[in-house]
Amino acid sequence: MSATCIIPAYNEGKTIGNVVKVVKSHKNVSEVIVVSDGSIDDTAEVAKLNGAKVIELSENKGKGGAMNEGLKSCETEIILFLDADLIGLTDKHVADLLDPVLNGDKLMSLGVFSQGRATTDLAQRVAPYLSGQRAIKRDLLNKVSDLDVSRFGVELALTRFVENNDIEIQIVQLPDMSHVMKEEKLGVVKGFVARLKMYWEIVHYYIKNPS
Ligand SMILES: O=c1ccn([C@@H]2O[C@H](COP(=O)(O)OP(=O)(O)O)[C@@H](O)[C@H]2O)c(=O)[nH]1
Ligand SMILES: O=C(O)[C@@H](COP(=O)(O)O)O[C@H]1O[C@H](CO)[C@@H](O)[C@H](O)[C@H]1O
């Protein structure tokens, strides 16, 4: 059994190439789909150059919407979601995320950075359920409501679904991994504003889906 890797990407030209290169070379990944979510940089070109299938959205749909577009354009039973801004991704990280779902043990795995950078390690220790690195069975994904409009609430949607349905997931440590923070991408002020927008989208999803 193989998996499709779906990478939602909004202006990630600087990092998308390496993420695609690493995950595309994994033996159990049959296809890498990068969904450029209204990007205005060279995300799509860099992703194509590194062998990804690219879906270019003319309008930004938000993270959940981009992931959903990728889901609609593949057929594998197992999906691996990765962020486009990962630092230090290796083939072993991909294997550790995929194996619990590929071997039928679990319906979802969730990757948590460890021994990466203090800032991103801490953030994920505080809120591991927000991690964007997950392998998931398509059957489970099909039951999660509002993925397409969840934006940054998508991780909350996935986590809440497994909790509400008593589905045991596999937490996977991702050693020596991090991601580029918003403040590093956009500068301190714009990065902080983007972070607030992210938290608002998460709260908005929570308010709209209280249980
Ligand atoms: O409107 C958006 C916002 C984010 N992303 C992607 O979702 C992932 C996580 O977003 P971000 O890096 O902003 O969040 P962080 O990892 O900083 O929490 C990255 O691959 C982004 O490119 C997206 O596709 N559309
Ligand atoms: O780690 C975190 O605190 C946030 C924000 O990371 P940044 O420091 O803004 O890159 O990132 C996590 O949460 C996001 C929202 O759910 C997810 O999109 C990311 O995949 C996840 O790493």
Q: What is the pLDDT along the chain (211 residues), one digit of tens a residue?
A: 899 999 999 999 999 999 999 999 999 999 999 999 999 999 999 999 999 999 999 999 999 999 999 999 999 999 999 999 999 999 999 999 999 999 999 999 999 998 888 888 888 878 878 999 999 999 999 999 889 999 999 999 999 999 999 999 999 999 999 999 999 999 999 999 999 999 999 999 999 988 7
CATH of residue 73's domain is: 3.90.550.10
* Residues in CB range of 68: below 8 A, 6 or more apart: 61, 147, 148
ipTM metric: 0.93
Tell me how far the alpha carbon of residue 57 lies from the centroid of ligand 1, in angstroms.
14
Residue 129 lies in a domain: yes
> Which of 186, 176, 35 has its CA nearest to residue 92?
176
Which of 37, 69, 200 to mutate to test ligand 1, by most ligand atoms within 8 A of the CB atom? 37
Residue 202 lies in a domain: no
Residue 194 lies in a domain: no
Residue 192 lies in a domain: no
pLDDT at 35: 98
Residue 29 lies in a domain: yes
pLDDT at 8: 98
d(CA 129, CA 171): 10
Binding pocket residue ranges, ligand 2, CB within 6 Å: 63, 83, 120, 123-124, 130-132, 152, 155, 179, 181-182, 195, 198
pLDDT at 44: 98
Residue 208 lies in a domain: no
Distances (CA, A) of 7 to 55, 165, 168, 190: 10, 26, 24, 23
Range(s) of the domain holding residue 71: 3-178
Ligand 2 atom nearest residue 179's Cα: 10
pLDDT at 28: 98
> Which of 131, 89, 85 has its CA nearest to residue 108?
131
Q: Which helix (H) or strand (E) holds 45?
A: helix 43-49
Distances (CA, A) of 22 to 19, 50, 77, 92, 114: 5, 10, 21, 10, 19
pLDDT at 211: 75
| β-strands 53-57, 29-37 pairing | parallel
Distances (CA, A) of 30 to 6, 14, 16, 85, 98: 11, 24, 18, 21, 12
d(CA 101, CA 95): 10
pLDDT at 209: 87
Residue 134 lies in a domain: yes
Tabulate helix, strand, coil % of the chain (nearest 5). 45, 20, 30
Domain count, the chain: 1
pLDDT at 18: 98
d(CA 161, CA 163): 5
Predicted model pTM = 0.96
Residue 190 lies in a domain: no
pLDDT at 1: 85
pLDDT at 53: 98
